[in-house]
Amino acid sequence: MENNNTPAWLREAEEVLIRYCKEFSPVLIDRAAGSYIYTQDGKAILDFTSGQMCAIIGHNHPRVQAALASSHDKAWHLLSTLLSEPVIRLCQELVALLPEGLDKAILVNTGSESNEVALRMAKLYTNGHEVLGFIGSWHGMTAGAQGSTYSHTRQGYGPVGPGNLALPAPYAYRCPVRHCQGTCDHTCLEVGMDLADRQSVGAPAAVMIEPILSAAGIVDLPPGYLAKLKAMSAERGYLMILDEAQTGMGRLGDWFGFEQEGVTPDFLTLSKTLGGGLPLAATLTSREIEQVCFERGFLYITSHVSDPLPAIAGLAVLDIIREQKLVVQAAEKGNYLKAGLQKLQEVHACMGDVRGRGLLLGVEIVKDRHTREPAPELGWAISKRCLELGLNMNIVRLPGMSGVFRIAPPLTVSYEELDLGLSILDQAIREQQ
């Protein structure tokens, strides 16, 4: 039955749009600037998701606008074999930021694409096809990336490619092997690799992971885990693909999520945060892997590979992050926001866990803090009330887990805006409990 409270514009939209998500938000957006999005009727909404976790430098940053405006008479799009100066410069700057072993880059459009590139190269290099991925992961919607995505997007679409094997994620708050509680001693990794060994047909290609699993509810890899996974994978012949779509470009308080562990992956994929809100992604790997793949005829030609226009935006994003020292700010503001959330946790029993790093934080909503019984509907009600009050929050509602807020404001967010967001969240929880 049609809801009479549904706005007319939303009814019109649903007449012509394929409904690609569970439901559309009941606000019509007109413009965006900084930490805010604005509805068509002029209401300001503080954006604690940075758009789709992409607008790391805030919405419509003036420097990016100026860079795009200056390119009006430059090439925007070219044949795949033709290169431009912005593409070469951006690849040079990315390589310069990274350790040895991540020496060659390709620019594409989305996170799905960047992961497809890495998967194709890993399979070509190893002559294998088996790919390990975490339960709860999200690596994209294209076929290869979707095969290693173990969130709620798998059912109903038929079989994925052969060789995709799932590992339990180190979700300490809800241990997947019912062993730990609150901490992780890596037992889940040992169990997972043992199971993978028994399922393997002896054709290893890659393990694809995120430093913090976002769609799984902000699951941070515990200390030492990444190094251990890299060693165990290498022993078996798997290359490591690190998907830093949401964690790269400073969001965690380091340029890249793997830096704290000192582990260099075989492939690094960047997307969301690289373009600052525009469609830009990159895959990086070693000279050795690139050389072998080149000799074996590696091919990845799409309509918009190496397009100049998004590369121009990416260069501006890098400049802004460096000049405004946003990596340091992400660490400092992240600590401030996390402390604020922990203070709210002392007041609200439904806030079962606060976790994450930098400006990528998670709050898990529960019915009972001691039993940790999930409360996804309460989380959804809080999210809806936040939006009504002027705060955009994202709630993860996956089967088998409670609602978890993924909190990811722009790195340019002010302390006053962080305080405002905490105040609105506090009010929304009080009104919904």
Q: Specify whether the CB–CB gap between 381 and 224 falls below 8 A.
A: no
**Active-site option among 230, 338, 355, 406:** 406
Examine the residue annotation and report whether 272 is marked as an active-site residue of this protein.
yes
**Active-site option among 210, 244, 254, 417:** 210
Examine the residue annotation and report whether 243 is marked as an active-site residue of this protein.
yes
Give Cβ neighbours of residue 419 (< 8 Å, ≥ 6 apart).
340
**Active-site option among 220, 243, 244, 364:** 243
Other CB atoms closer than 10 Å to residue 237's CB: what's the count? 16
Examine the residue annotation and report whether 138 is marked as an active-site residue of this protein.
yes
**Active-site option among 47, 116, 130, 138:** 138
Give, as one character, the DSSP assignment of residue 45.
E
Q: Specify whether the CB–CB gap between 113 and 281 falls below 8 A.
A: yes
Examine the residue annotation and report whether 23 is marked as an active-site residue of this protein.
no
Q: Across-strand partners of 351?
A: 365
**Active-site option among 123, 272, 338, 357:** 272
Examine the residue annotation and report whether 406 is marked as an active-site residue of this protein.
yes
**Closest alpha carbon to 399 in 153, 152, 139:** 152
Could you give the C-alpha distances from 218 to 331, 388, 420, in angstroms and in order?
16, 24, 22
Identify the H or E element spanning 11: helix 8-16
Residue 49 C-alpha from the chain's centroid: 11
How is residue 341 written in tokens? 């959330």
**Active-site option among 246, 251, 266, 355:** 246
Q: Under DSSP, is residue 92 helix (H, G, I), strand (E, B) or coil?
A: helix
Q: Specify whether the CB–CB gap between 378 and 403 falls below 8 A.
A: yes
Examine the residue annotation and report whether 65 is marked as an active-site residue of this protein.
no
How far is it, in rounded angstroms, from Cα 157 to Cα 187? 32
Known catalytic residues are: 138, 210, 243, 246, 272, 406
